[in-house]
Amino acid sequence: MKILAIRIGRVGDIVMITPALQAIIETYPGAEVHLLTSPDGRRVLKGFSSQVSKLIVHDRKSPLAFYHVKKTEETLHDENYDKVFCFELNPRFSDLSKRLTDNNFCIDYSNEPAHYSRRCLDAVARSVEGELKDYWITLPVHDESRIKARAILAEEGIRDETFVVGLHPTYSGLKKVAWRRTNSAGRLWPAESFAELAKLIAAYGKERGLDIRIIMDLMPDEVATGENIVQMSNGAATMLVPPLDFERYKATLERMDVLVVSNTGPMHLGGAVGTHVVAFFGDVPPSDSAAYVAEGQNVNIMAASKEVADITPQEAFEACKSFFPK
């Protein structure tokens, strides 16, 4: 059997389809699974499962994107898929799935409010008789990447026993959607608030004699924000800017005991590798797009009435404290 799944999106979008991909793999053991996805999708799902044998990349930002879709459709027709699962919200791709096979199952937004990952699972469930068990977001982390992450942290004096709090103060989608009429800036918690939170956490650790470190693992274009937070926190936060390596980055997120983050891709990545998460939400409801994890994995959701800037550092600190060592 040959199956195609479709999702073009950024990091968080791709992580949210991993429960549905697991369901496909376990429901159709032995099937050859292909994925039509984005450059971010290729990065996130590299090595996800040996059953996912082909990642077909569509770059929707390319000036030739429309032409590329037409060429890709010709290639996909030649694959003769037995089933197609479309998790993409763009109707162009749901129409594509219908042209590829009659056995197509698309995400459905006509029913009751539900998490996006749940809607994807429901699409898989419609392809079989009976109900599916629960699946949650997940990504593999490899030992080689863990060794790299541990070495980078060791350079900063962070031991294996150190309790690590990660801060992610940026939102990668901000520049990408700046031209749209969206309130993307409303997703960002202010740098001043991150700095104040770092000071509160550092003081808490010092008062109790705990080995707690606060880190930011940032990309080169995020350095200015990171330096600002380090300065305003009086050095309570440590900024890391290691060479870009997505697999190593996943391992660093896994090593964090708590990740403090707005509603961004790293929130989903942290949840997918089993890290406790304190997540800030503003105008986007967490019921639709929070990290989709099992109840046993704690994710503290902080939902502001309007913008995440309304959440105070003290409130964020209290949410983090529930995860701190006693």
pLDDT at 326 (0 to 100): 78
Q: Where are the domains of the chain?
A: 2-125, 143-321
For residue 251, CA distances in Å to 138, 150, 165, 172 come to 13, 9, 14, 20
Q: How many CB atoms lie within 10 A of CB 238?
A: 20
How does pLDDT run along the chain (326 residues), one tens digit per residue?
999 999 999 999 999 999 999 999 999 999 999 999 999 999 999 999 999 999 999 887 776 666 677 788 889 999 999 999 999 988 989 999 999 999 999 998 887 889 999 999 999 999 997 778 899 999 999 999 999 999 999 999 999 999 999 999 997 644 444 334 344 556 789 999 999 999 999 999 999 999 999 999 999 999 999 999 999 999 999 999 999 999 999 999 999 999 999 999 999 999 999 999 999 998 778 988 999 998 877 889 988 877 899 999 999 999 999 999 87
pLDDT at 175 (0 to 100): 47
pLDDT at 182 (0 to 100): 45
Per-residue burial over 159-185, b = 16 or more CB atoms within 10 Å of its CB, e = otherwise: eeebbbbbbbbbbbbeeeeeeeeeebe
pLDDT at 172 (0 to 100): 63
Question: DSSP character for 109?
Answer: -
User: Domain 143-321 carries which CATH code?
Assistant: 3.40.50.2000
Cα 143 to the center of its chain, rounded Å: 20
**Distance separating alpha carbons of residues 144 and 148, to the nearest angstrom:** 7
* CATH for 2-125 (2.40.128.110, 3.90.209.20, 3.40.50.2000, 3.30.420.40): 3.40.50.2000
Question: DSSP character for 321?
Answer: H
pLDDT at 178 (0 to 100): 37
**Distance separating alpha carbons of residues 250 and 44, to the nearest angstrom:** 10
Query: Could you tell me if 5 and 87 are in contact, meaning their C-beta atoms sit under 8 angstroms apart?
Result: yes
